[in-house]
Amino acid sequence: MKKTLLLTSALVSSLALGSVANAEVKGSMKFGYGASDGPSDVAATPGTQGFMRETQIDMSTTGELDNGISFKANAAFEAEADAIDQGEGTYIEFTSGDTTVHFGVDGFTNLDDSATPTTGSALATIADIAADASYARNPSSPYDAFGVGIAQKTPVGTISLLYVPQDGDTGSLAGTGDHKAVDINGGTAYELKFKGNLGIEGVNVVAGINHRDLESDGDDITRDGAGVVYGASYNFGSVTVGASYMEDENQSGTTTENTEIGVTFAANDKLSIGFGVLTHESSAATVDEDTKILTAGYNLGPIALEINYADVENHALNSGRDRTGASINTTVKF
């Protein structure tokens, strides 16, 4: 029997929220468990033997307003060990035809994205099970700050623009974003992105840029930040291949570059396997970090199972330091 969570109508300041009753809430719960291994190579650097865990809960509801405009409201919760992520997807979106307007934190299409195929989690996420590898496909994207976005669908893909008044501000009263006891300027950010197939079946293209104004009191200015992402993949039936590139000009003056190549194979409608290679470069380092990843995803019906393995060389841009890690993730939809 299908189980649903029902919302009931309510009166808020004499405003009757009619037709909200019996709105269906859908979502998913993800439980991730991992283990990493890496010996201490110097006296001041501890080893990384140990376990880790992550919990992710997403809930959303959709409907239509009296004027015909559709909406989606979402709330999310993520906990890693004893830390709570306040930058998770809490937002509301309104869609009319091919145009969507977004208000909130996270959840809007952004540059924390990749065209490289996977069997489940992003390759950057899998690399992190090896004790926080440096590789990151995200060019300091401001997606986890409170902002407004607009997305327009076209015959060849979706063009989107995200604007954030204060980068880093999640809207939490306890946060550090815009709630500061200092006189600051700057801190705004925007992202422009395209994602689509260019009108070619089997193609997936991701490309975009962002700009982040440096937050400063006027006395200590280095530079603004800027990022770029582009990549493409192609599906050959049961096989998909692709690659992505990211460059981030950080406000600290350091430039990082990340490249990933991936291939996946769908053995059947339940089992998929994948392989990925990641490279992280930094203008502040003399060596590159190289990561190889093996993944497998299996569909058990109401539960999706994901198994990952990562091998990292020159971990965190330290020459000769190697790390390995493995994880098991389960996703349950409701």
CA nearest to 123, candidates 312, 250, 298: 312
pTM listed for this prediction:
0.83
Q: Is 238 helix (H, G, I), strand (E, B) or coil?
A: coil
Beta strand segments in 97-219, E: 99-105, 146-154, 157-164, 189-196, 203-212
User: Quick one: pLDDT at residue 215?
Assistant: 64
Domain ranges of the chain: 5-333
Which superfamily does CATH assign the domain made up of 5-333 to?
Porin (2.40.160.10)
User: Quick one: pLDDT at residue 17?
Assistant: 38
The tens-digit pLDDT sequence of the chain (334 residues) is 333 333 333 333 333 333 444 457 888 888 887 877 766 555 555 555 566 777 888 899 999 999 999 999 998 888 765 666 666 888 999 999 999 999 999 999 999 999 999 998 899 988 888 777 889 888 999 998 899 999 999 999 999 999 998 888 887 655 454 555 455 566 889 999 999 999 999 999 999 999 998 766 555 556 789 999 999 999 999 999 999 999 999 888 899 999 999 999 999 999 999 999 999 999 999 999 999 999 999 998 888 999 999 999 998 898 888 889 898 988 888 7
Contacts of 35 (CB under 8 A, 6+ apart): 50, 51, 52, 129, 325, 326, 327
User: Quick one: pLDDT at residue 202?
Assistant: 96
